[in-house]
Amino acid sequence: MTDFIGLPKAEVHIHIEGCFEADDVISNCEEADIPLRAPRDRLFEAHDLKSFLEMLDWLCGTFRTREQLATTAYKFAQRMSRSGVRYADVIFNPTHWPHWHSNIAGMIDAFDGGFAAAEQDGHPPVGLCVSLLRTQSAAEAIELVELLSTIRHKRVVALSIDGNEAAAGRTGPRFAEAFRRAGAAGLRRTVHAGESSGPEGVRDAIELLGADRIDHGVRAIEDPELVELLARRQIPLGTCPISNVALGVYPSLAGHPLDALRKAGVPVSINTDDPSLLDTTLEASYAACAEAFAWDGETVRHLAATSVHASYADPALKARILADLQAWRA
């Protein structure tokens, strides 16, 4: 059996809001006297992207102290360790966290404390990708970028954007200036597209937002010219096949375009998106895809290498992970 936990790899498309543990959320509710949204066994229940995002808002609303945020960050790094992840870029979206809207800098600092403590204890390094929500205004987006440019926190590696494109409509033009400023400030740029939008969302992410990595991006398969562009420019897609099936983007793994994109030369990596809420792990995602697409060990190694190359880890760390990956045996 292939050791997918032992496989040296990075996780580059995962939301901290999707990594909560039910016990922690319940504890938060008890501490602040917040009624539960549902019984414990249905606390993370959602049926589509809209209800999923509404659930995230409720879950994040239970986190009200710095200690709760630091604990969440520490437990995230522990989760990465259990899956054999050597580095992770984690997305967080301040709009989901009502008690922190006016203190984003404090939120970043609290997360940083948890990640730093985890790294001291041997867990993998983590970079923060701070995300806009598609329903925000251009002015709000610029305000966030100016804040990030002012505080220049070492933990923050990228500006991101997420949310439901089908509901928000075309948002590339609205956020183009914010992403331009982010690039000028030295931040990387990663964009959710090609999940709730079609290939046009991926094209906007590249042409209007200057994305150096696309989160999802799988519906690019519907536009052969776009697939060729992604392959030619080697713009990586942080795909989340289990999430796409769970949320109804594709009916099954067998019908997912991950392998077709890979064969077309597009850099693709496997990621979990929201593992707690979707009841998955990174090693389970690798195993399911390897079975669905009949991958051999070299193909798995190539996908893991893509995850490392696509990550925002520093070059020395990337080199160490890639050296270990070269020695890995399926």
Q: What DSSP string runs through 133-185?
A: ETTS-HHHHHHHHHHHHHH--TTEEEEEEES-HHHH---HHHHHHHHHHHHHT
> What's the burial of 33, exposed, middle or buried (CB within 10 Å: 0-12/13-18/19+)?
exposed
Q: What is the CA radius of gyration of the chain?
A: 19
For residues 177 and 197, give the distance between their C-alpha atoms in angstroms, rounded to a whole number: 21
Return the axis-axis angle of helices 172-184 and 199-207, rounded to nearest 10°: 40
Per-residue model confidence (pLDDT) at position 2 = 83
Q: Distance of CA 104 to CAs 52, 148, 187, 252, Å?
A: 23, 9, 17, 38
Per-residue model confidence (pLDDT) at position 24 = 94
All residue ranges of the chain with pLDDT < 50 are: none
Per-residue model confidence (pLDDT) at position 125 = 98
What domains can you pick out in the chain, each with its CATH number?
9-327 (3.20.20.140)
